[in-house]
Structure 1
Amino acid sequence: MKALPRVPQEKPLGKRMQNQKLQDAVPHFSLSCFLWKKMAGLLFVICTYIVDASAFRIQHVESTENCQGHTTYFKRYFALKGEPVILKCPSFKYKHLDFSSHPCNLTWSKNDSKMMTSGGDEEPRIWTQDDALWFLPASLEDSGQYVCTRRNSSYCAIVSIHLTVTEKTAVHEISYHQILFTFTSGKLVCPDLGDFIQKETDLELKWYKDSVPLDEDNKKFKSLKGTHYLYISFVSSKDSGYYTCEMSFTSGGTLYNITRTIQLQTLDQEKRFSPVIVYPDQKTTLAALGSRLILPCKVFIGSSKHFHTVVGWLANDTYVDITYKQGRVTEGERLEIVENDENYIEVPLIFDPVGEMDFYTDFKCEAQNNHGRQVLPTRVRQGASSLPWHTAAIPVALTCLILGGLCMHKCWKRRAGNGYAIAKL
């Protein structure tokens, strides 16, 4: 008889299962479960931070939204590095709200985040005084958007002011615009010096044209001590260009220089009585969706009478009250201003609040009188949202928490199953 091939014997099934169960019962996680646990813990920490930051920010936004108005103030402040700066918080009337006759608390913050207080040892070069924020001196990192908030027991109003600080080599980038007419005599005004003038009689300015000192014996240019004017006789087109005025200011025993640069534009004599739109000076204005925006149209009319000139706003070549029948965007009160002994008219366009439709609308400021007409188009573009990334990340944070919980549940369930198998053995 032929022998059958020998079949190798297997280990008893019960013994093999027992060894496998013992291996599975080792009291530690598998590598994948360990990584899931660590990842879940990390996600939990990150999500907790996001939720906490979001809750803080939402509380801040809600307190801001209780204000009756959030205005972007279009008087920009310019300064050179190392020179003093004073930001003034303007007082506006919001419908039935007038802070000029009601006591209120005023606070300052930068970029809507860092609160700035009066004095202190941490940053003594920056402090608040009355309705002003002082920088002695200003540095490049001070550039940005500053927010002053006026608040009392019933009302709140917010104003945003922009400050630009540059190197001294970029002085022409922060010039003030002024206009003179040819074949006449006029004067340039060194602007924004009022808060630095300690005694009017001691005021003495140094004037430069295109960085060259003006000759005091030059009869064409004359600066009188005690004034912030530069008189120019018989203006010609050659007189256009950049003028610089300098003064000294002493505070706390330290001597500072204050520099202002003026860009002079000369216009022909026949345009002397025609309106000239000087603001907006940019083709686009950034605004956050849902914020309150005031966009002023400022018109130079020289020596003309205010009532001779009409200033208004158009939206898609139509009157604003027709395009916006619900009154969300309206024209504000007409202001008749005298600056540097010259006449200006200012009519603001008020967005309350800024809507999606505004980003696709063509706005035009129109100024007209019997001597001429000028139209200046401008657009409103969407800028940074009023809600920060923290708020937008709330759904992501919740998702992270849910995934982390599922991962932990899976790992603990696997460990519990292994423990049950050992107990059964």
Structure 2
Amino acid sequence: MVCLPLMFAMVIAAGVHGAPLLPPLPMEDGCYRVSPEVEIFRVEGEAVILHFPMFMRVLQVRKVAQLPAKYLITKNNRTDQPTYRNGGRVQQQGKELWFLPARPSDSGEYTCTYRNATYCVTGSITLHVYESSSVDIEKLSYPWPAFVGEKVEFNCPSLDCFNKTHRPIAWYKDSNPTPLQPGRDTLMIPAVKHSHAGVYTCQLTVLINNQHHKVSRAFLLHVIGSDPAITTSVPNVSTPSVPAQSSSTTLSTVSAMKPPVIVSPINGTIFESSHGSGLELFCQVHTECQQADSTVVTWLVNGLSVESSYLDRRALLGGRRVTRVSERCQIELRLDIVAITTEDEKTEMKCVTQNTDGRQEVVVMLHLEDTTFTWLVVAVLIVTCFLTVALAFLYVLFKPKTKKNMDYILARQSSTFSF
């Protein structure tokens, strides 16, 4: 008899009004918990707006945020009410937390909690604010690999939360104080060469509460391949012969270096996910530890960088992590897709790695899960349970009387009519 209620509960939990089946969320301290957002790295003295795109997408897809509720943002798992005042340096504005400007002491994990009369959901994000004198450019910058001769266009990313002023965006390379291409919001390099490699920073002024604040973003451009050879006329000059042993030693040293290898994902893998659910992709590369810093690892979407693809607003590149694995090092780059839609069907995702010792790429595909089969299985289980219960009820109702019961009934009748 438990079968039917259980199956109906599965159907109700699966979705409402034809919604797709969604994976259950883990629960912690009475609240459902969403996967953490991609970590944010910023510099002190700049305006920072924390928002929770994956968290908000989960509320939207699961149709949770339909009743009036309160959003509470706290730091480092505090349960008490924070002192975020309107007009203060740190203030909560609806579902966002504003730092005007940010300080290194603001670094930490922030939790956003949505709570109404019957439901509670939490999401978290980690903010790192660096001092100007101790900037970690590897973490602050967006990695951008490009091949020699490729056209590159940089656009200042993650600015949707700000109101830009009429002042143009200024671009700088490395530590040069002279701006590049003044007056242009997009920085373009028609044909990349190795001399273009470096850190490109865009700086702009934004307007918040009628006050001007500084914001900057940085790209770390890696150039892959060799520049075209320049042939010049060189006079014949006698060169000293190189001993065979020295040449052999040099050759063996070079050949001992192994090219980077992508260990995950496997080429041809199909990542299947239901409509509206999130997806995490991990690219793991093994390389020589002395080559780890110069080894490029990136994700491409249909041959384009994530920032230049149609997934730009729904995909976030996670931090690059390097760990020691046996005698080699492992580089891991995470790609978070906030929500899978029908537009993502058969999208080609490519993980690419390259350094001076070699290059490898792995192609995987995105596939939208067909929930028809899942619903068919649920329907079959419901019908099976219903028939089982019905047959059991009919069996009990029309169960034939046994001989022992008949003898007992006859005996009672005989005793009743005997005097």
TM-score, L = length of structure 1: 0.47
Could you say which structure has the greater relative contact order, defined with CA pairs below 8 angstroms and 6 or more residues apart?
1
Larger helix proportion of the pair: 1
TM-score (norm 2): 0.48
